[in-house]
Amino acid sequence: MSQEDVVSLADKISGVLEKEKNAKFPCKEKFDEINTKLSEIRSKISASLPQDQTDKLRDALHDLNNILAECLGLSNQQQNVKKSLVSAFSCCMPAHLSNKLSKVETTLQDILPAGIEQQVIGSPGPSSQEEDDVGDDYEWTCSYVDESMLYGDKDEAEKIIKALVKDEDFNAVGIVGSYGSGKTNLARKVFIDEKVKDEFPLRLWVCVGPDCKKHELLYRMLDNLGLETDEVEEIVNNSKAVKDSSNKDSAKIGVLLFILHWQLSDVKYLIVFDDVWCSTDIEWYRNLGSKPPTDKAWDDRLGYGLPKGNGNAVIITCRNEKDVRTMVDTGLVYTPKRLEVDEGFRLFKRAFDEAKKNSNLPVEEGLEKKLEEMKKQIVDKCLGFPAALMAAGRGLATQQNPCVD
């Protein structure tokens, strides 16, 4: 297919989305986001995009066109079906379509590195920082990161991957450590590993954070699976379970868990729950490997919404070891290693160089040589903690006359 044909296909998709701009169909918001980038795709092609990239783009646009057709087909079916809990599911984004759409986004991300960002649950945007202090400046994490920004021993990720792919119904791994110890970095390394991508067709990243309510967490997950929030709310509010319940808030959680379970039931998944704080509601997170009960409501444990029996897996990062062991039960609990001198100094120096470049301050003559000579003292002073090393590098770079003696 020529570049002109690829442009024509992009125009076709854009035209359909424009025609259906007032329609409701699964994952419409995500399609609209992609549509805003089609003009950038055209400009890339007109600037003589390499043939291998053109071929990748062609395949991605073909997939996007097919996914759009299926979603519009589901929407048309819904128009003639009475709204009920079961029938309304037909207008939601099935997991296999959500998975295909995620692959298309990944391809477009490769071609447009500054364009479409990988979808993140509960995150305003990508962050290259490890974690931030809790409060108004809390830094939401996501799975997308420049791979050159990752650090640490490759063997650490391999140990976790081995635990995730064990021949079990369900595998849970916990990563525990204090703030800035590298938990999120390690989870990201596992999440983007090629073996993990091959093993788990569906991968979700959930930044939980402090004070996360049950319904907020579930809506984030369902949104990332392609379900429109207003449609899910209508399903929940109109369900018999909620209407007949004296405790509607609890019943709504149960219905949301049922929808989540249904949505994940036909695909092998890996879910990362990053930065979980569960001290105030430990029962909600207890033993994520729990199977849903047959004799009572599903409203009291997150694990009931996670299907078992297909080799599915979860990773939990947490600052409290007791809490993470409660969540993974008998699963592996791993603490990231502190960085060795060379790796730690590389992280420090990268943060220093980036901050110095942005500060427009001159580099003191001989400073870099001094830093190289003191690298062991720098890493030891920061206890090998990634966040401390990056903060030290940025702080030193913005000083007018830094003293490193």
Secondary structure of residue 88 in the 3-state scheme? helix
**At which of 290, 316, 334 does a domain end?**
334
Q: Are residues 368 and 318 in the same domain?
A: no
Q: Are residues 313 and 371 in the same domain?
A: no
Would you say 290 and 148 are in contact if contact means Cβ atoms under 8 Å apart?
no
pLDDT of residue 229: 85
pLDDT tens digit sequence for 342-389: 999 999 999 888 888 877 777 777 888 888 999 999 999 988 989 899
On the 0-12 / 13-18 / 19+ scale of CB atoms within 10 A, 324 is: buried
Q: Are residues 284 and 367 in the same domain?
A: no
Would you say 206 and 273 are in contact if contact means Cβ atoms under 8 Å apart?
yes
Query: What is the C-alpha to C-alpha distance for residues 115 and 109, in angstroms, rounded to an integer?
Result: 6
Q: In the chain, how many domains are there?
A: 3
Cα 390 to chain centroid distance, Å, stands at 23
Q: Are residues 220 and 277 in the same domain?
A: yes
Q: Are residues 98 and 243 in the same domain?
A: no
Residue 175 has pLDDT above 90, yes or no: yes
Query: What is the C-alpha to C-alpha distance for residues 295 and 309, in angstroms, rounded to an integer?
Result: 20
Assess if residue 291 is contained within a domain. yes
When pLDDT is cut at 50, 70 and 90, the band that residue 31 belongs to is confident
pLDDT tens digit sequence for 72-119: 765 554 444 333 333 333 344 555 566 677 778 777 777 664 333 333
Would you say 154 and 116 are in contact if contact means Cβ atoms under 8 Å apart?
no
pLDDT tens digit sequence for 197-250: 999 999 999 989 888 889 999 998 998 888 888 889 999 999 998 999 899 999
Assess if residue 325 is contained within a domain. yes
pLDDT tens digit sequence for 391-404: 999 888 887 665 55
**At which of 94, 111, 128 does a domain end?**
111
pLDDT of residue 125: 34
What's the half-sphere exposure (Cβ side, CA atoms, 13 Å) at 85?
A: 16
Q: Are residues 229 and 351 in the same domain?
A: no
Query: What is the C-alpha to C-alpha distance for residues 302 and 282, in angstroms, rounded to an integer?
Result: 10
Q: What is the CATH number of the domain that holds 270?
A: 3.40.50.300
Helix residue spans in 117-213 (DSSP H): 154-164, 183-191, 194-199
Q: Please state, rounded to an integer, the average pLDDT across all residues of the chain.
A: 79
What is the CA angle 22-24-29, rounded to 5?
85
Q: Are residues 345 and 324 in the same domain?
A: no
**At which of 334, 358, 379 does a domain end?**
334
Assess if residue 402 is contained within a domain. no
How would you list the strands of the sheet with 269-276, edge to edge?
202-209, 269-276, 312-318, 170-176, 332-334
DSSP string, 340-404: PHHHHHHHHHHHHHHHHHHHTPPPPTTHHHHHHHTHHHHHHHTTT-HHHHHHHHHHHHT-SS---
Query: What is the C-alpha to C-alpha distance for residues 14 and 319, in angstroms, rounded to an integer?
Result: 45
The residue that leads in pLDDT, 42 or 165, is: 165
pLDDT of residue 74: 55
Instruction: Write the DSSP symbol of residue 79.
Output: T
Q: Are residues 190 and 320 in the same domain?
A: yes
39-54 average pLDDT score: 66
Q: Are residues 346 and 257 in the same domain?
A: no
Containing domain of residue 271, as a range?
A: 147-334
Assess if residue 173 is contained within a domain. yes
